[in-house]
Chain A
Amino acid sequence: MPISHLNNRDPLGRYGVGRNQNKLVRDYPIWNPSPDIQYLIADMWVLLNSVSVAVDRLGSSYRLSWLWGFGAGPAQALDPLLGYVGIHNKDIELQNNVGATLLRTSIAPFGAELSSVVFTERQLNARLSLVRWQLGGYYDIGVIYHTAWNDDIDVAPQEYASNFLPVSAKLFGGIVTLESTIGLYVKDGNSVTNVTELQHGHNTTLVKNSSVAPVSYTHLALPTNREV
């Protein structure tokens, strides 16, 4: 093993993934984490659809505000009224810098069915696992977390609570990204319905045409109609 790799280790045998350059940022992707979550998360992404996020939930920074199922230690005593009960093997909540909830994976946002949230979990290697929550084109969240200790170095392995609110778990910039998308709706009376496909009906033809660079477009032809 190259000696340079050993420089990336933290005292407890856990190390950040990828961006970890030295001890100053070994806690990536969490900035200056509190001991209750330190060394647990190795990498993370939060990808949000821009039309699905309420503007008032966006913030200058984001934090992990709740974790369910990541540890085997005693659960933190939480007020039941807060509803911090997971429905998947693991669930999380993200809050913005003023404490407003951006999303909670145990709750279906945007009026979607909770069953639409696809949860997957995969062991990546002997030390890391991936958990992922996906909701159609609305969001995609992945958390890579440590599952093993380095027995050669660690003398007092740390365990994590099975359900807890971390004291400090501010995410590095760039973990939460907003993807600019368009929400296409059909007006049906006073309501609108989300659209995924268009098809031609009576007296119409939908034509895909890419002759106008650089945009591919579809035009609606109404050959029999004329304006009077």
Chain B
Amino acid sequence: MATSAIWNVNWLVENTQRAYPLQYGPAAMDTTGTVSIPEDFLVQMQITVSYIYDPTAFYISKIIVVGTGFIVYLKNVLLSTFELPITIPSTAADFESFQFASDADQLNGSLTVGTLSSIASWPAGVWQFDPAVAMLESDVVRPTLAGLNRLYVRNGDTLSAPLTGYAVLDAGPNIRLSVQPTATGNLVTISAGTNPNYTQACLCGNGAVTQGIVSINGQTGDSNGNFNILGKGCYQFTPVANGIEITNVCTDPCCTCDQLEGVLKDVRDFGNGAASLEQYLVKIGEALERLQFVTQLNSAVITPCDS
């Protein structure tokens, strides 16, 4: 008994029986009417190209047959200077894919060969095609915005991970960023200060950059940020290297060091004299005590003998 079956033919195999990736339409015959691009030659092509190109304007302009294989040329009907060769070796296997790229056009792509069995019968030579018969389907080529997609920051030998999303340029100490609108966007100029001494914002213990002093007792500086401290009464403020010297003139000493040295000498002499005087008084006291003892002794001896 016969049985029926449904074969799930994949997309690439289906494309061996239709023009894709060329546009649906007349057979892709060369300009001499000698050969036509077999449907089973190319079965897939995907290209991304800069948005400045019209993705619907690409076509196969020629195929060169050489002993080593085939060179397929892509062109763009709106840009005559564009031409990209893609080499397919004669050893390509069925459904083998090939990559191609053009940095100048921000173009990347791949194509898949169905089989070379049909095109292998072409005579060697250069076969040219008109856009009318060899345009690529519009879904083969897609634009890319080709904008900035990665940003790296390098400090010394340390390279950051790629940054995506939003990135903000912020002017640090001694750096000034200016932005000028241009016809195509904005121009940013990076300038460094002329002061050779690089100054860095003060860091607190937790590493956070603190805001500088903006006022003292509610008083702010002038337009240049200068803040003057003036002395009054007994107080004087004198600029010194890296600081201000505060002086209370009312409490200054009235004598010079030489004068004070003399006074100090007199005080020392007076102290020394006092010590000598004290010793002298001690000696006088001791002498008086001895004198008093002698006097008493004389009185005791003399009186009995006379009576």
**Minimal Cβ-Cβ distance residue in B for A124:** B56
**B202 on interface, CB distance cutoff 8 Å:** no
**A208 on interface, CB distance cutoff 8 Å:** no
Write out the residue numbers on chain A whose beta carbons fall within 8 Å of the beta carbon of B14: 21
**B291 on interface, CB distance cutoff 8 Å:** no
Q: Let me know if B51 and A140 touch, CB within 8 A.
A: yes
Interface string of B166-209 (1 = CB under 8 A from A): 11111100101111001011111111111011111000000000
Write out the residue numbers on chain B whose beta carbons fall within 8 Å of the beta carbon of A199: 187-190
Among B122-130, B134-142, B298-306, the stretch that binds chain A is B134-142
Q: Let me know if A179 and B11 touch, CB within 8 A.
A: no
Min CB–CB distance B47 → chain A (angstroms): 12
Interface string of A1-37 (1 = CB under 8 A from B): 1101100100000010111010000000000000000
Q: Choose one: B23, B169, B191, B196; the contact of A202 (CB below 8 Å).
A: B191
* C-alpha spacing A203/B195, complex, angstroms: 10
* C-alpha spacing A217/B155, complex, angstroms: 11
Given the known interface contacts A140-B51, A195-B179, the answer about A180 and B164 at a Cβ–Cβ threshold of 8 Å is: yes
Q: Choose one: A130, A184, A212, A224; the contact of B151 (CB below 8 Å).
A: A184
Q: Choose one: A8, A19, A128, A198; the contact of B188 (CB below 8 Å).
A: A198
Q: Let me know if A196 and B137 touch, CB within 8 A.
A: no
Q: Let me know if A182 and B167 touch, CB within 8 A.
A: yes
Q: Let me know if A197 and B17 touch, CB within 8 A.
A: no
**A181 on interface, CB distance cutoff 8 Å:** yes
Write out the residue numbers on chain B whose beta carbons fall within 8 Å of the beta carbon of A193: 179, 186
**Minimal Cβ-Cβ distance residue in B for A16:** B139
Interface string of A197-221 (1 = CB under 8 A from B): 1111111101000001001010110
Write out the residue numbers on chain A whose beta carbons fall within 8 Å of the beta carbon of B177: 186-188
Write out the residue numbers on chain B whose beta carbons fall within 8 Å of the beta carbon of A179: 144-145, 147, 149
Given the known interface contacts A2-B19, A226-B198, the answer about A212 and B149 at a Cβ–Cβ threshold of 8 Å is: no
* C-alpha spacing A192/B150, complex, angstroms: 19
* C-alpha spacing A125/B25, complex, angstroms: 10
Write out the residue numbers on chain B whose beta carbons fall within 8 Å of the beta carbon of A122: 54, 56
Q: Let me know if A215 and B196 touch, CB within 8 A.
A: no
Q: Choose one: A49, A50, A51, A202; the contact of B192 (CB below 8 Å).
A: A202
Write out the residue numbers on chain B whose beta carbons fall within 8 Å of the beta carbon of A203: 191-194
Interface string of B4-25 (1 = CB under 8 A from A): 0000000100100111110111
Write out the residue numbers on chain A whose beta carbons fall within 8 Å of the beta carbon of B200: 227
Q: Let me know if A228 and B197 touch, CB within 8 A.
A: yes
Write out the residue numbers on chain A whose beta carbons fall within 8 Å of the beta carbon of B225: none
Q: Let me know if B24 and A5 touch, CB within 8 A.
A: yes
**B152 on interface, CB distance cutoff 8 Å:** yes
Q: Choose one: A18, A198, A215, A225; the contact of B198 (CB below 8 Å).
A: A225
* C-alpha spacing A49/B149, complex, angstroms: 10
Write out the residue numbers on chain B whose beta carbons fall within 8 Å of the beta carbon of A188: 177, 179
Given the known interface contacts A47-B143, A196-B182, the answer about A186 and B174 at a Cβ–Cβ threshold of 8 Å is: no
Write out the residue numbers on chain A whose beta carbons fall within 8 Å of the beta carbon of B25: 1, 5, 125
**A110 on interface, CB distance cutoff 8 Å:** no
**B165 on interface, CB distance cutoff 8 Å:** yes
Min CB–CB distance A21 → chain B (angstroms): 6
Given the known interface contacts A182-B151, A186-B179, the answer about A201 and B189 at a Cβ–Cβ threshold of 8 Å is: yes
Q: Choose one: A19, A124, A181, A225; the contact of B149 (CB below 8 Å).
A: A181
Write out the residue numbers on chain B whose beta carbons fall within 8 Å of the beta carbon of A49: 145, 147
**B33 on interface, CB distance cutoff 8 Å:** no
**Minimal Cβ-Cβ distance residue in B for A202:** B191
A sample of 13 more A-B contacts (CB under 8 A), given A15-B24, A185-B169, A193-B186, is A4-B18, A17-B24, A17-B139, A47-B142, A50-B164, A128-B138, A196-B184, A197-B188, A198-B188, A200-B190, A204-B190, A212-B159, A220-B190
Q: Give B residues with C-beta under 8 Å from A.
A: 11, 14, 17-21, 23-27, 39, 51, 54-56, 135, 137-140, 142-152, 154, 159, 163-171, 174, 176-179, 182, 184-194, 196-200
| 7 A-B pairs with least C-beta separation | A196-B185, A201-B191, A18-B139, A203-B192, A137-B147, A18-B137, A225-B198
